[in-house]
Each structure stands twice: as structure tokens, then as C-alpha cells.
Amino acid sequence: MTVLSLRPQAIPGRRERVRKATQRKADELLQTAAALMAEKGFEATAIRDVGRKLDASLAGMYYYFKSKEELLYQIQYRTFASLLQAQQQIAERPGTPKDRLRRLLIGHLTFFTSHPNEMKICTYELESLTGEYYNTVLELRRRYYRLMADLVAQLMTGPARKARASAHSRRVTLFVFGMLNWAFTWYSQAKDGTAEKLGGEMFDLVINGIGLEPLNR
Amino acid sequence: MTVLSLRPQAIPGRRERVRKATQRKADELLQTAAALMAEKGFEATAIRDVGRKLDASLAGMYYYFKSKEELLYQIQYRTFASLLQAQQQIAERPGTPKDRLRRLLIGHLTFFTSHPNEMKICTYELESLTGEYYNTVLELRRRYYRLMADLVAQLMTGPARKARASAHSRRVTLFVFGMLNWAFTWYSQAKDGTAEKLGGEMFDLVINGIGLEPLNR
Amino acid sequence: MTVLSLRPQAIPGRRERVRKATQRKADELLQTAAALMAEKGFEATAIRDVGRKLDASLAGMYYYFKSKEELLYQIQYRTFASLLQAQQQIAERPGTPKDRLRRLLIGHLTFFTSHPNEMKICTYELESLTGEYYNTVLELRRRYYRLMADLVAQLMTGPARKARASAHSRRVTLFVFGMLNWAFTWYSQAKDGTAEKLGGEMFDLVINGIGLEPLNR
Amino acid sequence: MTVLSLRPQAIPGRRERVRKATQRKADELLQTAAALMAEKGFEATAIRDVGRKLDASLAGMYYYFKSKEELLYQIQYRTFASLLQAQQQIAERPGTPKDRLRRLLIGHLTFFTSHPNEMKICTYELESLTGEYYNTVLELRRRYYRLMADLVAQLMTGPARKARASAHSRRVTLFVFGMLNWAFTWYSQAKDGTAEKLGGEMFDLVINGIGLEPLNR
DNA sequence: GATGAATGAGCTTTCATTCAT
DNA sequence: TATGAATGAAAGCTCATTCAT
């Protein structure tokens, strides 16, 4: 590393600056769109409104994405991909299945509390996508489902309980997703505490619910 | 046929017959609208499409309701009122709190399996209502929430556990609603059995989850 | 026929009157659209402009046809079907092949002088149609081509000239259509006389051109 | 390589090289634009599409011409000017009027077969130009018309036929242009042979058609 | 009761064109 | 010489709603 190498980093070329600004604008756009769509739904949100909120022209929006559906797709794809990656890392960290379930629940809720709009859209607007868009996001969703479902199945089919538990675990997984996803409608940091606390309570309910001992903590 | 049958109730006058036919048509309309709105969402459903599906004219629809929003309101109001009434009766039947929770869960799921479209709309489209419409349905929803919440609170604040349980019960109630409402997205009679069975599993999870003994059965 | 039968004709019901008025409006619409499209081309003509010219709202236009392309299709289909039928009748009337060619040329030009806009659109805007619309009109066009082509072939393959004439007749037919269709760009009743006269001159050129004696007249 | 080659013409300066490269690019652009416009029409062709086909940026296109209309004008002007010049030279070559007509027809069709897109645009898109653009191209077109019209008039007003022939010659000229211009819609080298052959057939039809003896050949 | 006809408002999308760099 | 970013204008189309009958 010579002193010279500082230059490109310290004084980025115009090209580079422009690229970054554009990227920033695209991100801002996705975020604003997500906020509006989370509030009013995809159908009821007009691209005009997104533009208005950003002081950008309607036509200008189309410089950044090529259709309204593609915008929705971008939101869902990025969010889901990011969630999936984060949760996969969390699941891979060492620990018992119970530990991992607990971390996943908290991880999900943490992600949700920092990106509530995007998560709401992922949860409720998959059906607004069609064709390839739909299939691609559906695939991510399925992988995320499997992550949780495998863990639940593992917990429920421990040594002593093989028999009917496995047939049951699909529904327990879906109960868990129900608890997680419904949180959009009521969660309030003030009333309900942190994602960590909420996730802990959910974990306890489930672990007890399926007849296992909760963690010592 | 006895003479009694000559009485007006038995041979209704034209007026009465017409009123009934109108009522029947209105019901059909609500049901069809519910089916379409459940499938595509309120915003994305055009009154035209409802008419088309019933072989009725577009303008004709406006004889039965005065705006699209009113149509949505009718669906939600009737469904919620009917659900609430049914569940209140169920809750009033004798039995322990545990019994009653179990019956409510099963009652809810049974109602849902026989009116999935209407229930889906109640669950997801409250925010599409405004003003008085919104407030009226919200009030029903709150009453329904209380019905369940009170029972959960009662179960969680039994003799030995007063302390922290009560602070907790709000969230348990909402977990329960999450499990119930999310069922829209996955329940299949073929895969998951009857509402009774599903409700039973949910009940077991919750009762165990909050540290109570399940029912003897 | 009794006197009673006069009534329905003399005092048509409201239903009937409305139907006729609607039909009249639809025809007017097609005619106005044809005028604009003939002047500026299909692409460059806005439905808005058609509406404006008729003092009808933009949305109102869509009560009468379901897309801009369908409007273009209607114009072309009706015009071509009408021309084809008229010319088929003309071709079937008794006479020598020469007589019939003469009548067809005059018939074509007569039709053109009374529906110049529609004919121009048929001539230049087939490629603006797609899918079924395109295929249907193309089929009419082909039938019309055959009507003329068969006659030309017949004239050119008389007793003494079978040999190379038939190979040639395709192009002569297309030369004829060129003369007919190009007339859009220059024909003026004042300068060039009636369709009858113009058709006569064209006939003479062609008949002489292919080495036959003109008609005695 | 002689010393002479050192002269500026032989080793062009940077300026000169750049000018040529620009010229080459502009030509490529005109050609590509002509191809697209011939296929889809002027209105329906987007400058974007031209750029895309050349891997050039949209904004970059505007370095070479200042508006879409100017692009269309360039195509028409260059093509017409070039055709006119070529045909004037052909007309000036020695020979009888018949010879000259024959050469002109073949010349026209030859030019058309080597620049079908440009010719199609000249034929069908004059009306898409306005103001000065329109007038300038119209003037070229008129000069071209006169070239042909004068010749036809000369042929038709030979010694024995002065009388009605001259009144007639306008229409014969326009019949000829009809045959020539309509060829866009059907000419196929495979089916119809060379421009020379096609022009010959057209010549024969016309010469016979107006009652003259064809050339001996 | 029911409907044919009509419309205002609004939506998504496209496009020619500009401008700073 | 060339382009990324941006926009005003306008297009096709849809939809909830009305109204005379």
C-alpha cells in the first residue's frame, strides 16, 4: 500500500460517485415504496404516490425499475434473501436444536422489528406477483419454511416420541409461522418489549407446548 | 296442509315474496363478492366482475348496495356478527375454562372452514374500510378479541400463578389469534383433518405451552 | 298483414329505439375513427381525439369497443367484407371475362370513392393488427386477391397463349392492385373524372397491355 | 508508397479521421433507423429501439440528429436525392423515349431492391414530415414525378395521337407509380426474378397498354 | 327491481427530449 | 463524443358510480 493508493479511495471518480448516488436513490425508492405498500397494500399504492413522497417525477420512477410489479418483486426478493441468509447463519451457529429454535424465533422478530414494512409486504403480497417473479420469491419462501420446519421436526421426533409427532410437526411449524406473522398486526415495542423478549416467550410456549423442557436460563 | 296454512305467513303475499327474493339475491351477491375478494383482494376486485359472475348487470348491483365499500362492510359485519354470536353461545355453555377455550378454538376453526372467503376478508380487509364502517367492524372485532382474551387471562391467572402471568396473557392471546388466522394460508382438510382435530392440537399446544395440564380425554 | 301489424313498426318500443340509437352511434364512431386514422395513421391517432371529435368522453368510447386494436379491426373487417361481397356479386353477373374485369375495376374504384377513409385503412393498416384480428382480415384480403387474380389468369391463358402467360399473371394482377391502391394518393374527382371513367382507362391499359383487344363500346 | 502519400489526403489528420468515423456512425444509424421504421412505421418506432439495436445510448443518438423528425427527414432526403440523381443520369443517356422509359423503370426497381427500407419510408412516410422538412422532400418528389411524367407524356403525344392522349397521360404516369410503389408489398426476388425482368414486364404492359409497339429485342 | 349508456378520475406505462458532465 | 439521469406530456385502459327509463 503506497500513499498513492489512498487517492482512489479518498477522491472517488465522478463515475463512482454517480453510481453510488444512483444506488442510494434506488434504495430510498424501494424503502419508500415499501412503506406505502405496507400501509395501503400493493394494489392501492400508486407509483405516483411513491414519486410524490420522494419529490421525483412519475416518469423518473421508471428509470429505476421497469414495472410496478418489478418494484414489488425487488422489495420481496431483497428482503427475503437477506432474511434467509441471516437466519441460515444463525441456524448454523453451534448449539442444541432448542438453542437454534430460540435463536431463529428471535432472529425473525428482530429482522421484522427493523424492517417491518418490507416484512409485511413479503408476508401479504406474494400473491400480487406473477410468473417468474412469483416463482422466484416462492422458492425463497419455501427454503425459509424448510429451515424452520426441519428444526421443529427434529425437536418433535426426539428418541422417545417418533411415532405420531412427525405427522404433527407440519402443523406446529405453521402455528409458529402464524404467531410470527400475525405480530404485524399488534406488536408494539412499548407494550410488548424487545424482539428478544417476545421471541423468548414464543419459544417457551412452543417448547412447553410440544412437551419439552424449556432451556435453563 | 291445514287451514292454518292459509294464514299470511304460510302463503306470503307478493310483497313478502318479493322481499325474500331480493334478500336471496343480495345474499348470493355477498357470497360471490366474498369469493372474488378473498381471491384477489378488495382493491383488485371490480364490481363488474361480481356482476359478470352472477349474470347481473353492473348497474343492477347498485340496487343492492350503495358503494363498493358498503359491500365490503356488509360482508364483514354479517360474518363477524354471526361468528361472535356463535362463539358467545359456545362460551356460555357450561364447563371449565379449559373446556371453553377448547370449544372456542374449535368453534372458530369450524366457522372458518365453512366460510373461508368471508373469514379471510374479515381478517385481511378491515383496513380497507373507513369512517363509520371501520369503527363498527372494529368494535365487533374487539368484542371477539375480549371473548378470547378474557378466557386466556383467566387460565393464566389461576390460583398459583397470578404474578407475571397476567402481564403475559395479552401476548398469548395474540399468539393464539396468529395461529388461527394464519390457517387461511395453509389449511387443507385432506392434509390436516377436521376443524375439530386441528383445534384440538392447537388447544394442546397452548395449554401445555402455558404450563397447564391438558384435558383428560 | 293486418292493421295491427303496423303498430310495432310505427311505434317502436323504447328498447328498440335505444338499440337503434346505439347502433347509429357505433357506426358514427367507426366512421370518425376511420377519418382520423386515414389522415394520421393508426398509431398516431389517439382514441381521445376520436372522442373529442364526437363530443364523447374517452371512457365512453370504450363502451363501444374494447380496445383500440378492436376498433381498427372493426373498420377493416366491415369494409373488406362489404367490398368483397359487392365485388363477388359483380363478378357473378353474366358476361365475358373482359366484361367482368372491367366491372370489377370500376366496382373497386366506386367503392373506394364512396369510402376512401375506410379503404385507405384497409390498404395500409393491416400490419397494425395482430393475432386473430390480423388473420381474419388477411383471409378476407386473400379472397379478394383471388377474385381478381383468377380473372386475370383466365384472360391471360386464353387458347393461343397458355405458355408463359400463366407464370406472368401473378405480376399483372399485382400491377393492377398497385394501380388501384395507389389511387389513394392522387385521385381527384375534379381532375380525373368519375370512378367509371378512371376504371375504364385502367381497363384499357391492362387489356391492351396484355395484348388483347379492348371491348367494343 | 510514394512521397505523395504523405499529403494530407493520404494520411488524414486526427480531425479528418474523426469526421469520417462520425460520418460512418451516422450512416449506420440512418440505416438501422430505416430498417426499424420500414418494419413498424415512423410513429411506432422509438428512438430508444434504434439505440438499442446499435448498442448506443439513447442520449447519444441526439448527437447525430436533433429530433426524431430530422432523422426521418435525413433518410428521405438522402434517399430521394440519390434516386433522383441516378435516374436523371439514366434518363440523359442517349436513346429513344421508349428506351428511356424502360431504363427508368428498371432503374427505379433496381434502386428499390438495393434500398428497400429507405424506399418504403420515402413512399409511405412523407406525411410524417412537417414544415420545411415536408416541403423540401415534397419538392424532390415532384421533380422525380416530372421526370417520369414528361417521358410518358412524350410517348403518348407522338405524331398521330396528340388529341386526347395528353389529358390522359397524367393518369398513366400515376398508374405507373402505383405499379412501382406497390411492389413493396409483394416483390420477392425468388418468385419474381430480377429488377430488370420485372421492369421489363412493367414496360411491356405500359407500352402495349398505351397502344405503342414494344421494343424489338 | 333492473339496466344500458355514459363519464370523471385515476392508473400504469412509454417516449422524445434535455442537460450536466 | 457520448451518456446517465431525469422529466413533461400524453397514451391506452379501467373502474366506481350515476341516471333516465
* A105-118 mean pLDDT: 97
**Residue A18: band (very low, low, confident or very high) from pLDDT cuts 50, 70, 90:** confident
Each residue's pLDDT tens digit, B61-80 = 999 999 999 999 999 999 99
Q: For A184-188, B139-143, D5-9, D180-184, which range has the lowest pLDDT when averaged over its residues?
A: D5-9
CATH of B11-65, one of 3.90.190.20, 1.25.50.20, 3.20.20.70, 1.10.10.60: 1.10.10.60
Place of cell 378454538: B105
Q: Give the domain ranges of chain C.
A: 14-65, 68-217
pLDDT of residue B4: 36
Nearest to C205 among D41, D198, D209 (CB): D209
Nearest chain A Cα to B45, which residue? A43
For C66, what's the count of Cα atoms within 13 Å in the CB-facing half-sphere? Answer: 0
Each residue's pLDDT tens digit, D32-66 = 999 999 999 999 999 999 999 999 999 999 999 99
* A57-68 mean pLDDT: 96
Each residue's pLDDT tens digit, D6-17 = 444 455 566 676
CATH for B72-209 is: 1.10.357.10
CATH architecture of the domain covering D13-65: Orthogonal Bundle (1.10)
A166 vs B67, more confident: B67
Determine whether the interchain pair A182/B172 forms a contact, defined as Cβ–Cβ distance below 8 Å: no
| Residues with Cβ within 8 Å of residue D173, at least 6 apart in sequence | D145, D148, D149, D152, D153
* D153-174 mean pLDDT: 74
* A93-100 mean pLDDT: 94
CATH architecture of the domain covering D69-209: Orthogonal Bundle (1.10)
Taking contacts as CB-CB distances below 8 angstroms, the residues of chain A near B206 are 205, 209
Torsion, Cα C164 C165 C166 C172, to 10 degrees, reads: 130
**Residue C20: band (very low, low, confident or very high) from pLDDT cuts 50, 70, 90:** confident
Size of interface C-D (CB pairs under 8 A): 78
CATH class label, A71-217: mainly alpha
Measured at the CA of A51, the angle between CA A50 and CA A55, to 5 degrees, comes to 125
Length of chain B, in residues: 217
Each residue's pLDDT tens digit, B194-212 = 999 999 999 999 998 887 7
Which nucleotides of strand E lie within 7 A of protein CB? 1-21
Each residue's pLDDT tens digit, D69-116 = 999 999 999 999 999 999 999 999 999 999 999 999 999 999 999 999
Contact C74, C65 (CB under 8 A): yes
Q: Position A168: which residue type?
A: H
C92 vs A161, more confident: C92
* C58-74 mean pLDDT: 97
B179 Cα to chain A: minimum distance (Å): 5
* A20-38 mean pLDDT: 92
- Which residue is nearest to the C1' sugar atom of F21, using CA? C14
Full-model pTM: 0.89
pLDDT at B126 over 50: yes
* Separation between Cα atoms, residue B96 and residue B87, nearest integer Å: 16
Residue D213 in grid coordinates: 409497339
pLDDT at A215 over 80: no
Residue A41 in grid coordinates: 397494500
* Separation between Cα atoms, residue D107 and residue D199, nearest integer Å: 8
Q: Which of B66, B74, B63 is nearest to B33 (CA)?
A: B74
Contact B193, B180 (CB under 8 A): no
pLDDT of residue A163: 45
Each residue's pLDDT tens digit, B5-17 = 344 445 566 677 7
Place of cell 399446544: B205
Q: Percent of chain B having pLDDT more than 70?
A: 87
Question: Residues A158-183, buried b or exposed e (16+ Cβ, 10 A)?
Answer: eeeeeeebeebbebbbbbbbbbbbbb
Distance D76 CA to E19 C1' (A): 30
C118 Cα to chain D: minimum distance (Å): 17
Taking contacts as CB-CB distances below 8 angstroms, the residues of chain A near B208 are 208-211
Superfamily of domain C68-217: Tetracycline Repressor, domain 2 (1.10.357.10)
pLDDT of residue D167: 66
**Residue A161: band (very low, low, confident or very high) from pLDDT cuts 50, 70, 90:** low
Instruction: Give the 3-state secondary structure of residue C46.
Output: coil
Nearest to A174 among B43, B127, B186 (CB): B186
pLDDT at A140 over 80: yes
Fold of C14-65: Arc Repressor Mutant, subunit A (1.10.10)
